[in-house]
């Protein structure tokens, strides 16, 4: 029997085959789904994989549209190269070790953006001994460490989402960090979102870093943890519903924490062995303890902050000396004891010795001085009858920055801070 095909049937068959090719074959080509890993240990290895580009600054190699699943090694590893390259629009899931590993590349040659990395046992992305790497607009989900930067300076981490899908519990916390910096200076960390990590941002031995406009929500241990890290700025950042500390400074000196909000945490801000830090323009709201100063933290300045509705002390000094606390607004803290702060340190000053003005206390009964709890038997001798005005806050902060810029050691820090404040329309 002969089968007759008319023109309409042939045309319909061709259309059907073409449609199936588009649905099935074409996506596989575009995303290039694979379980293989990509190992680049020299500039010549870029050519081996036939990536687009020439490796120049204006025509970099482009590693894109890969879907790498269950690779047994690091999914993408690049080491000891001088070529320029971009890693973008890739989906990398459930591989052993890292999704992306960069080590010992030439400064300023790597840009990593619009990638999704899920479920890695170590870092989603690992940067080692590589300066000026840009990491932008990526999603890091359920990695042990979202981004790890080690011995690398002047890197940029912006507009990333670092997430966990499962909240931590008190019984079974899992170690994870959204962003970890070790021995890495001058890092710009801006406009990132962190959800459910054990610690959102962890800086250790990392100086002159800028953290601006980050949101850290429901971490288990710390929103921001800074250890042996100095001359850093935290600005316009939210730490909300952290199980323990919104910001935790440990052996961290000469840092600026400003214009940020720490709310509904166990401690809003904690200082351990940390000296000569400046905390201003922050909102410390509905924590168990607002600000905790302990372990001989000294010569810190706390001014222009709003400390509101904290369950116990709005401000508590366990140990520490020569700290200055003035021109802060205290509202409705420690209602069980009426007195909103305690001082068990040595020679801490609860007023500005230039203006002879202290703090505003919502519980002040107009009698002088305002007495504090704690073994120091300290007082605020010049409590304010009204909250600190915005105009005064602006003028005081500008004069403080001008004073700091007279010291060359913090000149760069202050210039960066002033730029942030202007951008935020604070000054």
**pLDDT of the residue at 423:** 40
The rounded mean pLDDT for the chain is 85
Q: Domain segments of the chain: what residues? A: 33-423
C-alpha count within 13 angstroms, C-beta hemisphere, residue 209: 34
When computed from its CA atoms, the radius of gyration of the chain, rounded to whole angstroms, is 27
Whole-model pTM? 0.85
Residue 19 burial (C-beta neighbours within 10 Å; 0-12, 13-18, 19+): exposed
302-323 pLDDT, tens digit per residue, is: 999 999 999 999 999 999 999 9
**Topology (CATH) of 33-423:** Pectate Lyase C-like (2.160.20)
Q: Which helix (H) or strand (E) holds 20?
A: helix 7-20
Q: 412: which 2 tokens?
A: 């760069």
CB of 255 within 8 A of CB of 234? yes
pLDDT digits (tens, 9 = 90+) for 359-369: 999 999 888 89
| Cα-Cα-Cα-Cα dihedral sign, residues 288, 308, 279, 212 | positive
Can you tell me the mean pLDDT for 50-62?
96
Q: Please tell me the distance from the alpha carbon of residue 363 to that of residue 308, in angstroms, as a whole number.
A: 12
Distance of CA 160 to the CA centre of its chain: 10
Position 93 pLDDT exceeds 60: yes
User: In this structure, what DSSP letter does residue 369 have?
Assistant: S
CB contact at 8 A, 393 and 211: no
- Where does the pLDDT of residue 396 fall: very low under 50, low under 70, confident under 90, or very high at 90 and above? low
Determine the average pLDDT of the residues in 144-155.
95
If you search the block for the tokens 């320029």, which residue do you land on?
A: 84
The pLDDT value recorded for residue 141 is: 87
10 Å CB burial of residue 384 (0-12, 13-18, 19+) is buried
Read off the DSSP letter of residue 43: T
Sheet holding 301-303, edge to edge: 61-64, 85-88, 110-113, 134-136, 156-158, 188-190, 210-212, 233-235, 256-258, 278-280, 301-303, 324-326
What pLDDT does 90 receive? 95
E-assigned strands of 54-171?
61-64, 67-69, 76-79, 85-88, 91-93, 100-103, 110-113, 116-118, 123-128, 134-136, 139-141, 145-150, 156-158, 161-163
Question: What is the per-residue pLDDT for 60?
Answer: 98
Q: What is the pLDDT of residue 167?
A: 65
């Amino acid at each position: 029997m002969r089968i007759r095909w008319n023109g309409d049937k042939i045309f319909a068959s061709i259309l059907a085959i073409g449609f199936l090719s588009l649905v099935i074959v074409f996506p596989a080509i575009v995303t290039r789904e694979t379980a293989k890993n990509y190992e680049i240990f020299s500039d010549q290895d870029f050519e081996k994989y036939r990536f687009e580009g020439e490796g120049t600054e204006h025509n970099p190699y482009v590693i894109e549209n890969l879907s790498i699943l269950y690779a047994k090694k690091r999914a993408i590893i690049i080491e000891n190269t001088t070529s320029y390259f971009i890693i973008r629009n890739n989906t990398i899931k459930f591989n052993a070790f890292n999704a992306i590993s960069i080590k010992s590349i030439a400064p300023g040659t790597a840009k990593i953006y619009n990638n999704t990395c899920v479920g890695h046992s170590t870092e989603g992305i690992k940067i080692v001994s590589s300066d000026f790497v840009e990491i932008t607009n990526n999603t890091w989900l359920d990695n042990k460490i979202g981004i790890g930067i080690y011995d690398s300076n002047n890197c940029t981490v912006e507009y990333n989402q670092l997430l966990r899908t499962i909240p931590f519990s008190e019984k079974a916390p899992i170690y994870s960090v959204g962003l970890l910096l070790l021995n890495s200076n001058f890092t710009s960390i801006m406009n990132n979102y962190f959800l459910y990590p054990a610690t959102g941002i962890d800086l250790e031995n990392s100086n002159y870093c800028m953290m601006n406009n980050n949101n850290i929500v429901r971490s288990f241990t710390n929103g921001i943890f800074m250890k042996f890290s100095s001359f850093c700025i935290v600005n316009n950042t939210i730490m909300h519903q952290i199980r323990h500390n919104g910001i935790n400074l440990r052996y961290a000196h000469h840092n600026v924490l400003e214009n940020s909000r720490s709310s509904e945490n166990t401690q809003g801000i904690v200082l351990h062995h940390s000296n000569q830090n400046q905390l201003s323009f922050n909102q410390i709201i509905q924590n168990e303890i607002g600000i905790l100063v302990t372990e001989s933290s000294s010569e810190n300045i706390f001014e222009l902050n709003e400390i509101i509705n904290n369950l116990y002390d709005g401000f508590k000094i366990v140990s520490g000396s020569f700290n200055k606390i003035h021109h802060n607004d205290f509202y409705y803290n420690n209602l069980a004891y009426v007195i909103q702060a305690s001082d068990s340190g040595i020679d801490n000053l609860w007023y500005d010795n230039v203006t002879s003005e202290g703090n505003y206390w919502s519980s002040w009964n107009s009698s002088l001085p305002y007495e504090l709890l704690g073994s120091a038997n300290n007082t605020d001798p010049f409590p304010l009858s009204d909250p600190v005005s915005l105009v005064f806050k602006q003028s005081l902060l500008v004069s403080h920055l001008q004073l700091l810029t007279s010291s060359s050691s913090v000149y760069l820090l202050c210039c960066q801070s002033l730029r942030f404040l202007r951008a935020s329309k604070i000054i």
